[in-house]
Each structure stands twice: as C-alpha cells, then as structure tokens.
C-alpha cells in the first residue's frame, strides 16, 4: 500500500515540478520547484530591527550580498514567506498581531501593498502558503489558532469566511504537503501536531492529532510528501513519521532520532536525500542522510557549527548551498553542500545581518542573478565636482545630463552605500563630506544638509561603508584617526566617534563579514586592525597593527578578496604589494614572501569578484600590474605582467560584475576603460576612454543585481 501511495505522490510531484519549470519561477512558501531553478533574492526577518533584510544570491559562489531592507514591518517580525510566483512576500509580526504584505520588484526590493497589513490572531509566529499560491495560513502562538486567507490576483490576503481554526497550545508553524491536500501544525505547548484536510476553497478541516516529542516547533515534509519530520525543541530530537494515504501521520518504527540542544527547524534538500536541523541552544546543525524508508541517519560529522542561537535554515533550489539565520549574533552563516550532503562552511562563513534574524525565504527563477554596473561617479579634484555617467552593457561610460554636480573643495574620495541609494564624497580642503541621493536615473541630488563636517583640524582622505550600509568610516591623516559616522534613514551622516590609527592613515576597508576593519598607515609602514562592535565602533585587535614587511614603503591602498581570507596592500615607495592571510579572529598574518613586485609607485589595488585576479595602479610608471591569485591567496604575475595606460594612472576601479576595469588618468583628465578576459588579462574596450572634469582623483561604480 505504501508503494502505491508513494507512486501516486511522486506522480503528483512530477506535475508540480513540470509546472514550476514551465512557469518561470516559484517561491519558498511550501511549493516544490524545478531543480533547474535558481535562488535569486533572499529575505531575512529581523525581529529586533522591525524590517526584512534583502540579499542577492550569487549562484556562482553561493555568497549572499546585502542590497537593502523593507520599509518597516509590524512589531517583531518573525517569519517571512515568498509566494510561488516570486512576486509577493508576507511577514508574520509576532508583536503586532498582523501580517505585512509586499510586492517584490525586479531588483528584489519589497514595497508595501496598498493594504500594508492584514489582521491575524495573537502573536502570529509564521506564514505558510499552499503550493498553488491561492491560500495562506498563519500560526498564532498566543491565541492557539490558525488564521486562513485566500490570496487575490494582486497578492493581497483576504480572510476566509471562517477566518481561523483552533489548534493546540502555542502553534508555531504550519506546513502544507507538496500536493496541497493536507496541512500540519506544530503545537509547541501541547506536544502535538494538528492534521488538516485542505478543502477545494482552501479551508482547513481537522482530521486527527499526532503526538510528538516535547515542544515541537516545526514540521517538514520531504519533496515526495511521503515522510514528515518534527523538530522537538525541548526533547533534543526529531520525530519521524510516514504520511499515510489519507494524510495522517504514523510514527516510523524508530520514532525519533537525536539532534542537538533545542532543535527548531528542519530542512530537506530538493531531491529528498539529506536533512538538516538547526539547534538553537547548541549552536550547530545536525545533518542526516534520508534512507529509502525515510528514516534519518546521522552523517559523519554529525554536526556543523553555526553562530550564536541559530533559528532557521534554508537551502537554495539547486541544492548546492544552505543558509542559517543566527539570532544572537546578528548574522547569516553560509554553507556549501557536498556531493555526499555534508555541509562545508563557505568563505566568509558569516555575513552581517540587521538585528535578530529569525527566518529565511527565497525568491526563485529559471535564470540566476547577475550583477551589472549601472552608474559611475568621478571626483574631480581640480573642478570641485563629481562627474556622473551611465555604464553601458559593454562597460563604456556615457555622461549624464548634467555631466557633473558640485561638491566641496578638492574632492578626493567617493563611496556608494550597498543599497545603491546614496553617494558620499570627501572634500579634503574644506574638511567636509558631501552627501547625495542617487535617483532612479543615476543622477545625484544633494541631501539636506548637503554636507557634514569632518572636523576643524582634519585631513580627510578616504572613506568606506560597512556591508549593511549603516556606518561610514573616514581616515584622517592629520589626527591619526578613523572617524565613524552613522547613516540615517534618509541617508544623512551623523558623527559617532573615532578610533586611533597609526601615523598618517591612508586607506580604510571593511572585510566581507562586516566584523573587521583595516587601515593603512603611510608613515609608520603598518596596517591597523580592528574588530567592529554592535554600534559600528572599532576596537583594536591584539596586536593593534602589523608591519607591511619593509621600511619606507608608504602603504597606500588596501583591498580584501571576496572570501575574506586574504588582504593586499599597495606600497607606494617600495614598488611592491604586501600580501596577508586573514585569520578567523580577523588578524593579519604576512604570507611568505610578504611582498611581490609591482610597477613604480603602486597606489591602489582591486580584486575581481571571483577572487581569481588582482590589478594594481602604478602612479609613477603609468601602468597596471596584473596578477593571478593562487589557491593560498599568493599573487603571481600574469604575462604580460603590466599594461601601459595613460600619462598618470592614479586610481583603479572595478565594476562589481568583474568584467571591466577603469583607470583614472589625472593628467589627461580621462577614465581609461578595459575589459577583463577569461585569462584575467586586461584589454582596452572599443571606447578606450571617457572625459572627466579637471584633475580627476577617484571613481566609484553603482551596480545592481538583476
């Protein structure tokens, strides 16, 4: 009988997969997706930030990149779900007793619907959609019921005629089987799972109740709908069930398997071969293989570490990557899934999240995301302007109209926040930072006020922004400080504090995890190293700095590869590049050899997004050194080792697609444009250069995921 039921369910799953493949995408609201689909945007609820963070998923590397966050949700958002079309998202607000509803833009952004929220029961904990995308169910922790809604064509929720059904005590989550026939509710306070038949109108009709371990938090079904697994929060195990023909749950012969402390969520890979359980007290993931009979067997090793208090785990639809929301550490940990199902930490293992991440959902499509340059900005030191350009599909720059906007006196550095909404420009002579919003057409508009002071005695030279777009860090050469500004909700800067550096700090950079900062000190030939606190403040590591390896080097530009494992410093006076490994504690260790030759007067270095190639602008020899990055991070010169550029190669910039490189020629007052070949070598584009303003000094590019 089990074999017949399994065949019927598998045939049903095949139909769902076929529809998903033909329909161009899906969501993570309970439906199955084609294994040829890709994760696109990832959404993470931030319970203490009252918002949803948005990340782009780079399918080539599996890394997540922060792109912004939603408008405010209700109070204490606890769960987010994306519909099967990938066009709408829903958030259960535990403290607000409602559900926020959003439309999803082509760039992954969340915009509140006309009716921004709909009412729910008391303390809604999760939102679940049926596979057809027609119905939604909300588990209300405080009122012991499940709200049920129909979903309109525009994605909005409407309460059904019977707006809710009673379940057990403290329902935490609702799960719908892949066929859309049955629903299961984990009742944390009753140690049970309520089982429902789903009617043709989406309404729930109670069948029976299954007994679980202590405090069940979530129910997960395998893709075929034949087996169910329940994470029992306070009995440190997972109940495993067979799903009968009528949808009821029957315990397997081995009713439970051990997990870590306080298991909260179970997820299964798209092919139903492996299961993963997040254990929020033991701070790890239990990993299992799934046998032919659905039973779980621990892998070796049985667990993989997470950050503090993991609450949710999600797998991308290709089955290559897994992501965990870690509540206490305000982070997301990232893993690659091996051919045997074992999880391996990515590099970086952790990326920053806004406060209190609790759940993860993903929009899905048949094509992966790509990152492309959209607009570029050049600080013109001699004309007190920022030139603004659009970036063509071939990487070429075209001046916008107007071609430039005014800055303060002697602009020397620019930075764009990771959401692509704001640009900041350091004005060295009048000791200010100009601040602009970026329009949908790429044009800059001054904020109010148009600039903020960096201090009466300062010599501001460079700035950078943390990966979540919350803080700006600015080097002050006169005061031997890094100044810290916070970024307001309107993009305006407010001074927060400062940290001591070495002598004459030049460049500052934040690692991809957002946990560490590094500053090159041009006079004492060192790099200062810091940890970043919850308020953005910098605390020196021990030791507080490391030597760049030689005397009289005058370290200038610093960069970090996308894995966060290697750092490189351009040493202006010694004509070389120092190379370091970055430890798990953020500390730099010099490689052997510490320095590799560059051209004359290296001033700035960039690494491509794949982490395979690096390029150095040599200001005195007017050329670009080009390198391959080895498996251990060491640089090896390509052949040819350099390419000649204009009369003065001052700074170098790479677009975030990793396809183009731009070099400022401050004497010729142009930007030279290069494409990157498959072998890493640079070649001039069809349009080799674009005009700038007077004495261009620095360039940044705003990129978008699409």
SS (H, E, C) 43-58: EEEECCCCEEEEEEEC
Q: Model pTM?
A: 0.94
Query: Do the beta carbons of residue 177 and residue 198 sit within 8 Å?
Result: no
Distance between CA 176 and CA 439 in Å, rounded? 42
pLDDT for 161: 97
Distance between CA 85 and CA 29 in Å, rounded? 10
pLDDT for 457: 76
Query: Do the beta carbons of residue 651 and residue 645 sit within 8 Å?
Result: no
Buried b (16+ CB within 10 A) or exposed e, 314-329: bbbbbbbbbbbbbbeb
Query: Do the beta carbons of residue 229 and residue 267 sit within 8 Å?
Result: no
Q: CA dist 479 to 486, 503, 543, 546, Å? A: 20, 9, 21, 20
* Number of Cβ atoms within 10 Å of the Cβ of 497: 14
pLDDT for 649: 62
Within 13 Å, how many C-alpha atoms sit on residue 265's CB side? 25
pLDDT in tens, 668-702: 899 999 999 999 999 998 888 899 999 999 999 99
Nearest 5°: phi and psi at 273?
-100, -30
Positive or negative CA dihedral for 382, 388, 389, 395?
A: positive
Query: Do the beta carbons of residue 323 and residue 41 sit within 8 Å?
Result: no
Query: Do the beta carbons of residue 613 and residue 595 sit within 8 Å?
Result: no
Query: Do the beta carbons of residue 33 and residue 315 sit within 8 Å?
Result: no
Q: Which two tokens stand for residue 662?
A: 């731009």
pLDDT for 81: 97
Nearest 5°: phi and psi at 72?
-55, 135
Q: Which two tokens stand for residue 31?
A: 């439906």
pLDDT for 698: 95
* Number of Cβ atoms within 10 Å of the Cβ of 574: 20
Query: Do the beta carbons of residue 469 and residue 483 sit within 8 Å?
Result: no
pLDDT for 88: 97
pLDDT in tens, 567-621: 999 999 999 999 999 999 999 999 999 999 999 999 999 999 999 999 999 999 9
Question: Maximum Cα–Cα distance for the chain, whole Å?
Answer: 83
Query: Do the beta carbons of residue 211 and residue 191 sit within 8 Å?
Result: yes
Q: Say how far residue 16 (Cα) sits from the centre of its chain.
A: 29
pLDDT for 455: 85
Query: Do the beta carbons of residue 377 and residue 699 sit within 8 Å?
Result: yes
Q: Which two tokens stand for residue 161?
A: 């005629």
pLDDT for 434: 98
* Number of Cβ atoms within 10 Å of the Cβ of 586: 18
pLDDT for 656: 87
Counting as low any pLDDT under 50, the low residues of the chain are 1-34
Buried b (16+ CB within 10 A) or exposed e, 218-252: bbbbbbbbbbbbbbbbbbbbbbbbbbeeebbbeeb
Q: Compute the C-alpha angle 369/417/673, nearest 5°.
A: 70
pLDDT for 456: 72
Over the Cα atoms of the chain, what is R_g? 27
What's the distance, Cα to Cα, between the start and end of the chain in Å? 47
* Coil/strand/helix, residue 10: helix
């Amino acid at each position: 009988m089990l074999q017949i039921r399994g065949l019927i369910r598998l045939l049903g799953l095949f139909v769902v997969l076929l529809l998903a493949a033909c329909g161009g995408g899906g969501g993570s609201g309970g439906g199955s997706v084609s294994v040829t689909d890709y994760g696109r945007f990832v959404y993470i609820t931030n319970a203490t930030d009252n918002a949803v963070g948005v990340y782009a998923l780079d399918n080539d590397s599996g890394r997540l990149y922060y792109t912004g966050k939603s408008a405010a949700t209700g109070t204490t958002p606890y769960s987010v779900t994306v519909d099967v079309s990938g066009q709408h998202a829903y958030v259960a607000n535990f403290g607000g007793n409602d559900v926020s509803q959003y439309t999803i833009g082509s760039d992954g952004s969340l915009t509140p619907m006309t009716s921004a929220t709909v009412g729910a029961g008391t303390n809604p904990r999760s939102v679940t959609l049926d596979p057809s995308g027609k119905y939604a169910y909300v588990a209300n922790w405080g009122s012991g019921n499940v709200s049920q809604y129909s979903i309109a064509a525009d994605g909005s929720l409407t309460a059904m005629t019977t707006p809710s059904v009673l379940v057990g005590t403290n329902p935490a989550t609702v799960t719908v089987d892949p066929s859309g026939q049955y629903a299961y509710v984990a009742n944390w306070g009753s140690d049970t799972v309520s089982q429902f038949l789903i009617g043709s109108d989406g309404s729930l009709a109670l069948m029976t109740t299954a007994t679980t371990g202590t405090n069940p938090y979530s129910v997960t079904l395998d893709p075929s709908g034949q087996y169910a697994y329940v994470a029992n929060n306070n009995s440190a195990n997972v109940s495993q069930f067979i799903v009968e023909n009528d949808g009821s749950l029957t315990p397997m012969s081995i009713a439970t398997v051990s997990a870590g402390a306080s298991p909260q969520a179970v997820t299964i890979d798209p092919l139903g071969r492996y299961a993963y359980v997040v254990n929020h007290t033991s701070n790890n993931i239990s990993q299992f293989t799934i046998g032919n009979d659905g039973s779980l067997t621990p892998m070796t090793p049985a667990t993989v570490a997470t950050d503090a208090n993991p609450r949710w785990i999600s797998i991308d639809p290709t089955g290559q990557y897994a992501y965990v929301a870690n509540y206490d550490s305000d982070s997301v940990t990232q893993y690659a899934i091996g051919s045997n199902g074992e999880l391996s930490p990515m590099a970086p293992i952790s990326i920053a999240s806004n406060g209190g991440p609790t759940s993860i959902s993903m929009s899905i499509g048949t094509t992966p995301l790509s990152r492309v340059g959209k607009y570029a900005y050049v600080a013109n030191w001699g004309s007190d302007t920022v030139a603004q350009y659009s970036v063509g599909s071939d990487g070429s720059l075209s001046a916008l109209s107007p071609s430039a906007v005014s800055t303060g006196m002697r602009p020397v550095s620019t930075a764009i926040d990771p959401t692509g909404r704001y640009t900041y420009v350091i004005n060295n002579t009048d000791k200010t930072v100009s601040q602009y919003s970026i329009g949908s057409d790429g044009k800059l508009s001054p904020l109010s006020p148009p600039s903020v002071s960096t201090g009466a005695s300062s010599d501001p030279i460079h700035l950078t922004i943390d990966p979540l777009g919350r803080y700006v860090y600015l080097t002050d050469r006169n005061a031997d400080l890094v100044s810290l500004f916070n970024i307001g909700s309107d993009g305006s800067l407010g001074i927060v504090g400062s940290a001591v550096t070495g002598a004459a700090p030049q460049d500052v950079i934040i690692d991809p995890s957002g946990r560490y900062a590094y500053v090159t000190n041009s006079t004492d030939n060192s790099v200062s190293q810091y940890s970043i606190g919850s308020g953005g403040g910098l605390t020196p590591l021990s030791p507080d700095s490391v030597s760049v390896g030689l005397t009289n080097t005058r370290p200038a530009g610093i960069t970090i590869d996308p894995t966060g494992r290697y750092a490189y410093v351009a040493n202006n006076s010694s004509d070389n590049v120092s190379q370091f490994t970055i430890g798990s504690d953020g500390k730099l260790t010099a490689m052997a050899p510490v320095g590799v030759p560059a051209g004359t007067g290296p001033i700035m270095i960039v690494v491509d997004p794949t982490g395979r190639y690096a390029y150095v602008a040599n200001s005195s020899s007017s050329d670009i050194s080009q390198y391959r990055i080895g498996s251990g991070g060491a640089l090896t010169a390509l052949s040819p080792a350099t390419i000649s550029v204009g009369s003065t190669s001052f700074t170098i910039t790479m677009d975030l697609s990793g396809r183009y490189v731009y070099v400022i020629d401050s004497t010729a007052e142009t930007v030279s444009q290069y494409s990157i070949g498959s072998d890493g070598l640079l070649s001039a584009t069809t349009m080799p250069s674009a005009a700038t303003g007077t004495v261009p000094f620095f360039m940044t590019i705003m990129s978008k995921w699409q």
